[in-house]
Each structure stands twice: as structure tokens, then as C-alpha cells.
A = this chain, B = another copy of it.
């Protein structure tokens, strides 16, 4: 780590970062939530590099998860919510893959997935919660015994219900223990980072910080590289220390078509077009060819979308989003 994660200048390009840290069969998580602050540029680059068999962990990453599944990059999924807000009550490529039986899924809740990342970040094997007692989230396991045996990275049990050993008052009879997640790589998109990798997220952090700390390697894409002094003048506002980070990649609009608080909004037109394409395999293949494989990089992708559409998404400084944007 002294070499990889130390004070070195970690700025690199996206193709290089993805090529180095995202590999066939790796265990991975991505930051953001539904159509907000997903590391889309890195996700499209992963698809472009045709990296397969990912073991993907997510709480509610709608758009990023659905595109990775649709492009055939995902072999196993542990997730809480396969939807995308108002743009997809259930993500279409996710739904198709599960209904066709091609994608093994393990279901948890958003809090359980968050606690699992937190446990990994804390270096403990599990964390307790009272969530989902009495439900099929406890009783029904998506991953078979065999799958759990053969992959040393997956815990041998989905979760464990146990009596509360401190149950003196009797108010909390039982808890659910959820196992830690320790990924090979986490990819996050943030507003600001410096060359060493200290990062500042504006707005809600979701479980991005826990994801970064539970991963062996961290790729940060950011809207803007700022000077170390800019971030250190008010360190209360920074969330990720540089020594957790391996690669820093400046990618303006790197979350597009998802939103990035204080920078730009999600693109309803794109998300609606995606939803239409996702319904049909031929249309979806054409979608990937046009926007993902058909773009050399994120810059080229944005050029396809065109500056007019992009500019309409720019955030209003008072609110942090594009006020009055037509979101139909």
C-alpha cells in the first residue's frame, strides 16, 4: 500500500484504471443510488473492455447495475433494489436476466447491504440489525450451498438469525447478523478529488464511503481535480482519505446520464430512451453499439449526446439541480 496508495500522484486515464483494477470475475461495487451519481463513465468503459463474470454488490444502483447486466458483464448479483426510480419500477435488463434464470441473485435490504459494506470497512465479519425478521429475505437463499462453497470470497451463510445475548430487558429478543463485504474494487464518482485521492462528495453520500473502505482497490472518477490545499483548507468536508484510493480519473460529466449534485441533473430523455431499448434484445444491442461500443470514450459519448442537451442539465447553483427541467 505504501507504493500503491501512498502520496503518489494517482491521476490516470479511465481505460488504464479500469484495465488495471477491474478484471474478469472480480468482486465489485459501484457508488451512487438509482439514477444519481453512478460512475457511468467507468461502467461504460468496463462494458467497452468486455470484462465479464463480475460479482456485483449494490444496494440500489439502478442505472449502472442494469447496464452492466444488459451488457453481459455480471455473473452474480447481491442487491437490495433492482429499480431505477420513476424511470423503471423494476430495471428491465435485470428483470429479464433473472426471469430467464441466467443471473443468480441474492436479495438483501438497503440497510443490510449498507451494513455489509460498513462491516467490511470496519474490519469485522458481521454487523447486527433487526431488519427483515420474519420475512423470506431470511428464509430464501438465492445462492446455492455449492456456489457458496466454491467461492472463498462468499460467506457460507447468507445471514444468521441469533438470540440477543444481552437480552436482559427483553426488549430485543433477536437480531439478524449480516456478513461483511470485502470487494476487489469499488468505483465511485465524486465531485472533487485531489491528485493523491482525497475526495469530497457534495450532497448525500449514500454508502459510497463505506464501499471505498471495504474494497481492496478504489477507482475515483471525479468532475474536477482540485488542489490539495483546496480540500485541506476545510477537511471537515472531505470523506475519503487518500490512502484508500488507487486511481483518480478526471471525467467531467462522468456520472451522465445519472445526476451529480450541484453539477448536473439526470437526463430524462436518455433514461426514457434506454428504458425503451431495454425492452427488446435487438433494440438493446443497437443501443449498446451506438452509445457504448460506438464511443471511443466518455468524451466521444457526450459528443454524441450533444452540448445542447448536456447544457440543459447544468445545475442551478442555489438548488444543486436543473430547476424546471422537463422530466416527462
Contact = CB atoms under 8 A, between A and B. Distances in A.
A67 to B, nearest CB: 28
Interface in A197-236: 202-203, 236
A9 interface: no
A150 to B, nearest CB: 12
A126 interface: yes
A168 interface: yes
B126 A155 contact: no
A165 B177 contact: yes
Contacts of A162: 165
A168 B153 CA distance: 9
Interface in A145-187: 152, 155-157, 160, 162, 164-169, 172, 175, 177, 179-180
A144 to B, nearest CB: 15
Chain A contact residues: helix, strand, loop or mixed: loop
B124 A129 contact: yes
Contact of A127 (B128, B156, B157, B164): B128
Interface centre among A127, A152, A202, A236 (most CB of B within 10 A): A236
Given A156-B166, A160-B165, A125 B177 contact: no
Interface size class of A (residues with CB under 8 A): 20 to 34
A283 to B, nearest CB: 40
Contacts of A129: 122, 124
A124 B131 CA distance: 10
A43 to B, nearest CB: 25
A237 B239 CA distance: 11
The 9 A-B pairs at the shortest CB distance, nearest first, are namely A156-B168, A125-B166, A125-B164, A155-B166, A125-B172, A124-B128, A166-B179, A160-B165, A126-B166
Given A126-B164, A157-B165, A160-B165, 6 more contacts: A122-B129, A124-B128, A127-B128, A152-B169, A155-B166, A236-B237
19 contacts: A122-B129, A124-B128, A124-B129, A124-B130, A124-B172, A125-B128, A125-B164, A125-B166, A125-B167, A125-B172, A125-B175, A126-B128, A128-B128, A155-B166, A156-B166, A157-B165, A157-B166, A166-B177, A203-B236
